Amino acid sequence: MLDPVLLIALPLLTAFLVPLVRRAWRPLGEALPLLTLLFDLALAISYVPRALEKPIVVIIAGWRPPLGINLTIGPLGIFMAVMILFVAVLVAIYSIWYIRVEPKERYCMLCLMLVTGSLGMVLTGDIFNLFVFMEITSISAYALTAFIRDRDGSEAAFKYLIIGSLASNFFLLGVVLIYSSTGTLNMADLAAKMPSVDPRIAVPAVILMVVGLGVESEMFPLNGWAPDAYSMAPTPIGAVFGAIVVKGAVYALARMLYTIFNFQGVIHFLVIMGIVTLLMGEMAALRQRQIKRMLAFSSIGQMGLILVALGLGTAGGLVAALFHMLNHALLKALLFLTAGYLVYHSGSKEIADMDGMGRRVPLLAVAFSIGAFGIMGLPPLNGFWSKFLVISETVKAHYVAIAALALVGSVIEAVYYLRVVGRLFFKPADERVRAARLPVSAFVSLGLLVVAVVVIGLYPGWVMHVLQPAAHELLDKSFYIHSVLGP
């Protein structure tokens, strides 16, 4: 039985080993990040049965909670960790061939740091620790945005950095306010003490925290960084943003709102913000002419749908939200990774230049179409189930108008995705684009993603088995408190 701390410590260690090992023996240096992430994924999967049974509480340095920092690996945390690591492994496989720009070890380092940070965010049981891991995640994300040393990359990174660090300042301010009135930083202890806190302090604290996390989770007025960062970063990083960074922030948001504060008003506020985010994202995506910007706006739209489901405050709504998070992570990773090679082969970021790619690189176009159909919610694929669940739960919670607006958003989404798919297959190809074969690394990672998308679509019950305890963990505050602090 290995120590669960390794889940976080191992990528952190490897991040700093990579440059050294690369200097000593290059092939090992190339393979090291992938090997570490694979091992981490296996480790995370091995904890799933135990975490489902009873949350694993890891005590660090012998200080029992609420005094020391602890990790709380419950059903929700382990679900998020497996999702993050699965996408990270696929991106690592994909990057072996895709990232040719030197210095590659910096890219590997930053990616591993980002994975470390987001794993820490989803596994930690301490609110200040959450802040630290959030900063590790976002600082590596800023640096990755500027990884290609061109003009627009630095501009996007600067924008992201300013918005992101101002937001994390607000989050820290929220932490300070809570600490001043409860004298504790442990999440379970906070959850237990929260009902007795003066609302004049608790309400500003929750607002500051929602603003702080809203930036990273692409909530509506705070998501100006997203399209630039997604489209200017190297393409696999777009997949990482959509599947890892944003999902970690949404997890933190759900943890704050459900476990710690549990203010009904603020939770329902998410429904409104979610639907506005959804419509703004989808409408902006419709206008885009560059494929990566379109995917970025589509990602904002999907985050809106997840926020709507999170804000319902029912068990069904939470299951739907978590399920859609998983599906969106897989589908957006698939779309971004295929878009990377579509851009590479057509030599342009414009959608208009992708005409006829379906004849030149058929596998790529098929993979893109599967991703597009999945995110639109066509039945045999995974996106159908989660979208269906979100909308039916919204209706069940008596938000019929919101459900109708979400359907409108889905229609807009179908329009712009079908436009791209139509161009890929039914337009004559440009003479300059030659038929090409995919490198093995891209083939493996895209193949695994397509398999995951189809299998979850055919057997959604397997995932539900994990999601229900995870949603229960969020809804049942006292269960979380007792499993950390003891009865």
Partner 1 sequence: MVYYVAALSLILIGTYAVLTKKNIVKIVLGLSIAETGVNLLLITIGYVKGRTAPIFSDPSFRPEKMVDPVPQALVLTAIVIGLAVTALALAIVIRLYDHHKTLNIEKIRQLKW
Task: Compare residues 3 and 152 and give the one whose CB is closer to partner 1.
Answer: 152
Spatial contact of 219 and 277, defined as CB atoms under 8 Å apart? yes
Task: Compare residues 150 and 350 and give the one whose CB is closer to partner 1.
Answer: 150
Task: Compare residues 149 and 432 and give the one whose CB is closer to partner 1.
Answer: 149
Distance of CA 428 to the CA centre of its chain: 36
User: Least Å distance between CB 134 and partner 1?
Assistant: 10
Residues that bind partner 1 (CB under 8 A): 128, 132, 135, 139, 142-143, 146, 149-152, 154-159, 161-162, 165-166, 169, 172-173, 176, 179-180, 185, 224, 227-228, 232, 284
Task: Compare residues 75 and 227 and give the one whose CB is closer to partner 1.
Answer: 227
User: Least Å distance between CB 398 and partner 1?
Assistant: 34
User: Least Å distance between CB 474 and partner 1?
Assistant: 26
Which residues make Cβ contacts (< 8 Å) with residue 231, sequence separation at least 6? 156, 238, 290, 292, 293, 296, 349
DSSP 380: T
Task: Compare residues 159 and 324 and give the one whose CB is closer to partner 1.
Answer: 159
User: Least Å distance between CB 135 and partner 1?
Assistant: 5
Phi, psi values for residue 262, rounded to 5°: 55, 45
Spatial contact of 112 and 33, defined as CB atoms under 8 Å apart? yes
Q: Which two tokens stand for residue 481?
A: 């408190």
User: Least Å distance between CB 184 and partner 1?
Assistant: 9
Task: Compare residues 33 and 66 and give the one whose CB is closer to partner 1.
Answer: 66
User: Least Å distance between CB 284 and partner 1?
Assistant: 6
Q: How far apart are CA 39 and CA 41, in angstroms?
A: 5
- Long-range pairs for 13-18: beta carbons < 8 A, 24 or more residues apart: 14/112, 15/108, 15/109, 15/112, 15/113, 15/116, 16/109, 18/105, 18/108, 18/109, 18/112
Continuous segment of H or E residues that includes residue 56: strand 56-59
User: Least Å distance between CB 227 and partner 1?
Assistant: 7
Task: Compare residues 147 and 417 and give the one whose CB is closer to partner 1.
Answer: 147
Task: Compare residues 152 and 350 and give the one whose CB is closer to partner 1.
Answer: 152
Max CA separation in the chain (angstroms): 71
Phi, psi values for residue 248, rounded to 5°: -60, -45
Phi, psi values for residue 266, rounded to 5°: -70, -35
Q: Which two tokens stand for residue 116?
A: 């470390």
**Positive or negative CA dihedral for 288, 294, 298, 301?**
negative
Mark out the alpha helices in 54-183 (DSSP H runs). 75-98, 104-123, 127-145, 151-182
- For every residue of 201-237, which 3-state class applies, written as one string? HHHHHHHHHHHHHHHHCCCHHHCCHHHHHHHHCCHHH
Task: Compare residues 42 and 176 and give the one whose CB is closer to partner 1.
Answer: 176
Continuous segment of H or E residues that includes residue 73: strand 70-73
Task: Compare residues 100 and 151 and give the one whose CB is closer to partner 1.
Answer: 151
∠ CA 181-182-183, nearest 5°, is 105
Q: Which two tokens stand for residue 53?
A: 């049974």
Q: Which two tokens stand for residue 410?
A: 């889905």
